[in-house]
């Protein structure tokens, strides 16, 4: 019996038992679908996180009073840093201290490195912005910055002008709005927003500029922002827990490590830290934040792979059981094939290929459904099409091995049947 004849006969036997084949394919497809679906979703989430933290360039970093890294189950880069500094003592009175306006301003004035330094403070979140005729949904974030804020955060002005030092120092009610806000308030022509007076959280603001759309992610919509001066935020929204964030951008990425070292050296005296005391502030690079978050997603990835492998193991046992049932049902057929000259190899190959084909059908169905479901999540996260070719090929290979392993024992059992006993089997 040729290889082509073996494949044809195996496919015919699979097709003639559609219900049994369908159930087995569904079991195998479930494991592969779960694997591809969740891994695609995790990849989409990591892409979206990377986009969210790419507002600052690779040659920029920020100084904040507490760690904003997200961990799953503890641990992380900060813990490593603290371990390496175990010789330093940490005063409880130093922990959790906010960065005040005076400290941030002093840092900007004293920072010796040739770089662009900007100050920012978070204002109100989830507020409504409106004019006489239109209003936004309550999902607008208000932030206070200085004249360098737009450049440091990768914004470009589409219409209007940037803040002047006078705007910053006076803290008057002027603002720059994102493209999403402008399009909502002035859908016919967003450029008309410039010099208009809008209401932000029931406070009147004159619009200085409209920002260009620079894309969004599920974690942060860069178009749904209102940016004003930090002194305006201090006057209207600041509380005792409000802390400034200092952003620094150097001209060359190769100067980052030196700039970070200079920042620590300049800020420690401002924070009144003794040489033996640990830093009570954190320096974050945009790429390292995204890398840390993505690294934490790796814990979920390992768990998903484990669950998928367990599902495939269970499906392989089910497939082996199905193939053993098939051997019993077709005992007479096996005896007839042997009586007509069929060899042990022909019988063994037939059952092996049936098992492998069923497993591959499950892989194809599971991969297609997993890709579709995973990319639905990717569409929601606005991260673009995600195709994990490595896992797709790996899924096909694993399913082939599952089919081979599940079909091996039934195939060997079928090939060893005595043709006379098989023909008399009822």
Residue 72 is predicted with a pLDDT of 35
Distance of CA 29 to the CA centre of its chain: 25
CA pair distance 151, 168, nearest whole angstrom: 15
pLDDT in tens, 307-342: 777 877 877 888 888 888 878 777 777 778 777 777
Residue (of 118, 140, 120) closest to 129 by Cα position: 140
Residue 87 is predicted with a pLDDT of 39
Residue 70 is predicted with a pLDDT of 39
Residue 243 is predicted with a pLDDT of 92
Structure tokens at 84: 């390496």
CA pair distance 43, 267, nearest whole angstrom: 37
CA angle 145, 139, 295 (to 5 degrees): 75
End-to-end CA distance of the chain: 26
CA pair distance 272, 261, nearest whole angstrom: 17
Residue 81 is predicted with a pLDDT of 42
Residue 201 is given by DSSP the state T
Q: How far is CA 175 from CA 104, 143, 204, 206, 306, in A?
A: 21, 10, 10, 6, 51
Residue 30 is predicted with a pLDDT of 84
CA pair distance 112, 73, nearest whole angstrom: 39
How many residues are there in the chain? 426
* pLDDT tens-digit profile, the chain (426 residues): 677 777 887 788 778 778 878 888 888 888 888 888 888 888 887 777 666 555 555 678 999 987 654 333 333 334 334 434 443 455 555 667 899 999 999 999 999 899 999 999 998 887 888 887 888 888 899 999 999 999 888 889 999 999 999 999 999 999 999 999 999 999 989 999 999 999 998 899 999 999 998 765 545 567 899 999 999 999 998 888 889 999 999 888 778 889 999 999 999 999 998 888 888 899 887 666 556 666 666 677 777 778 777 877 877 888 888 888 878 777 777 778 777 777 888 888 888 888 889 889 988 999 999 999 988 988 887 777 888 888 889 888 888 888 888 888 888 888 887 777 667 665
Which residues have C-beta within 8 Å of that of residue 99, sequence separation ≥ 6? 63, 64, 65, 243, 244, 245, 246, 281
Which residues have C-beta within 8 Å of that of residue 120, sequence separation ≥ 6? 143, 144, 145, 146, 149, 230, 244, 245, 246, 247
pTM (two decimals): 0.58
Kindly tell me the number of DSSP H helices and DSSP E strands found in the chain.
Answer: 14, 11
Q: Cβ distance 206 to 196 under 8 Å? A: yes
Residue 289 is predicted with a pLDDT of 56
pLDDT in tens, 18-29: 887 888 888 888
């Amino acid at each position: 019996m040729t290889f082509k004849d073996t494949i044809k006969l195996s496919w015919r036997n699979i097709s003639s038992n559609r219900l049994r084949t369908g159930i087995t394919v569904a079991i195998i497809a479930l494991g592969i679908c779960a694997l591809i679906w969740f891994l695609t979703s995790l990849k989409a989430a990591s892409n979206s996180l990377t986009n969210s933290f790419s507002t600052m360039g690779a040659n920029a970093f920020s100084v904040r009073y507490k760690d904003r890294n997200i961990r799953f189950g503890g641990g992380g880069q900060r813990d490593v840093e603290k371990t390496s500094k175990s010789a330093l003592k940490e005063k409880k009175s130093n922990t959790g201290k906010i960065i005040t306006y005076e400290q941030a301003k002093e840092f900007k004035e004293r920072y010796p490195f040739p770089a662009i330094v900007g100050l920012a403070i978070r204002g109100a979140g989830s507020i409504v912005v409106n004019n006489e005729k239109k209003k936004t949904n309550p999902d607008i974030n208000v932030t206070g910055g200085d004249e360098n804020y737009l450049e440091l955060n990768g914004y470009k002005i589409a219409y209007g002008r940037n803040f002047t030092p006078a705007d910053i120092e006076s803290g008057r009610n002027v603002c720059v709005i994102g493209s999403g806000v402008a399009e909502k308030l002035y859908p016919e022509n967003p450029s008309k927003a410039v010099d208009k007076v809008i209401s932000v959280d029931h406070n009147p603001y004159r619009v200085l500029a409209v920002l260009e759309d620079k894309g969004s992610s599920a974690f942060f919509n860069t178009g749904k922002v209102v940016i004003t001066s930090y002194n305006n935020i201090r006057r209207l929204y600041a509380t005792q827990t409000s802390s400034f964030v200092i952003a620094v951008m150097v001209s060359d990425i190769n100067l980052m490590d030196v700039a970070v070292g200079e920042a620590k050296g300049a800020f420690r005296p401002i924070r009144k830290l003794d040489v033996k005391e640990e830093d009570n502030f954190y320096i974050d690079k945009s790429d390292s934040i995204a890398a840390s978050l993505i690294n934490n997603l790796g814990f979920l990835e390992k768990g998903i792979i484990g669950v998928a492998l367990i599902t495939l193991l269970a499906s392989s046992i089910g497939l082996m059981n199905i193939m053993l049932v098939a051997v019993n049902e077709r005992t007479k057929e096996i005896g007839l094939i042997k009586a007509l000259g069929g060899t042990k190899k022909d019988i063994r190959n037939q059952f092996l290929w049936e098992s492998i084909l069923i497993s591959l059908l499950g892989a194809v169905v599971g991969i297609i459904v997993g890709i579709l479901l995973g990319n639905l999540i990717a569409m929601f996260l606005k991260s673009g099409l995600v195709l994990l070719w490595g896992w797709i090929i790996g899924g096909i290979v694993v399913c082939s091995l599952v089919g081979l392993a599940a079909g091996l024992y039934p195939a060997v059992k079928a090939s060893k049947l005595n043709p006379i006993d098989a023909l008399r089997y009822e």
